[in-house]
Amino acid sequence: MSVQDAHILVIDDAPEEIRSLLQALRAQSWRVTLATTAQQGYQRAQLLAPDLILLDVRIPGMDGFALCRQLQELPRVRHIPVLFLTSAASPEERLEGLSQGGVDYILKSCEPAELLARVQIHLRLAPRPEASAPAMPDASSPSQDEVILRAAMRLIGRRLSEPFTLEQIAGAVGTYDKRLSAIFRQRLGMTVFAWIREERLRKSRQLLMETELGMQEIAETIGFRSACNFTTAFRERLGVTPSQYRKAARHDTPAAMDAVGA
């Protein structure tokens, strides 16, 4: 694929607001496909595997940030550059878009020439999939429930220190709380918060072995209020204190690690 032959997917529920930008894109030699709902955008991204995606943020049902997180979990799609094209202009929204996988953040008020220049840059920089990649999603493509699960696990893993409600996690990955709970129970055999607890303790074991951080620092890094709460949870789960675990890990003997439940 050359830059001139690129296929661009635009996901925006109000395309009339960006008519001049769409006209500028279509005036190039690029193929432009439009999706007007998040679910339609998800399906078309997976089916068509475009070369670049322009994604609005404020989309009813599932916002652009959540959709971007889901797209990152699709093997055929995760390499595709996502550029947010939106009127959501706050610094917090810009940072959110760039930190969750977007390669650029462009305001709808921009001049068409600016949009074209940015699109051209990212088309040139975009990684190319293997030539042997299938033209259509195969039977091994993850279901949307699997995509939501992976997106939730990745989001939580990146933000272990932050307090989450179930509703916040679900909304951030494009679903609702009861569905997310059901996905975790069906696929992992535990609740969302049981998994978070396990992930925090897994991360704590890594930090105990690989860093010199103190107990309070580790507790804050993985989302416990205090070193005391962290120590209590660690001992209840593994039968030893974090300090005992670190000492055994530093000795690096199989018997010692077995003794602390590693």
Phi, psi dihedrals of residue 89, rounded to the nearest 5°? -110, 5
Q: Helix axis angle, 144-158 relative to 177-188, nearest 10°?
A: 100
- Specify the higher pLDDT residue, 141 or 49: 49
**Residue-wise pLDDT tens digits, 109-143:** 999 999 999 999 999 998 766 544 444 555 568 99
Domains along the sequence of the chain with CATH = 3-125 (3.40.50.2300), 144-259 (1.10.10.60)
Q: Mapping DSSP to helix (H, G, I), strand (E, B) and coil, where does residue 46 land?
A: helix
197-200 CB contacts, 8 Å cutoff, 24+ apart: 197/233, 199/153, 199/156, 199/157, 199/160, 200/160, 200/224, 200/233
Mean pLDDT of the chain: 90
pLDDT given at position 4: 79
Q: Please, which residues bridge with residue 52 across strands?
A: 8
Is a pLDDT exceeding 50 seen at residue 220?
A: yes
Question: Which alpha helices (DSSP H) does the chain contain, by range?
Answer: 19-26, 38-48, 64-71, 91-99, 112-125, 144-158, 166-172, 177-188, 192-210, 215-222, 227-238, 242-251, 254-259
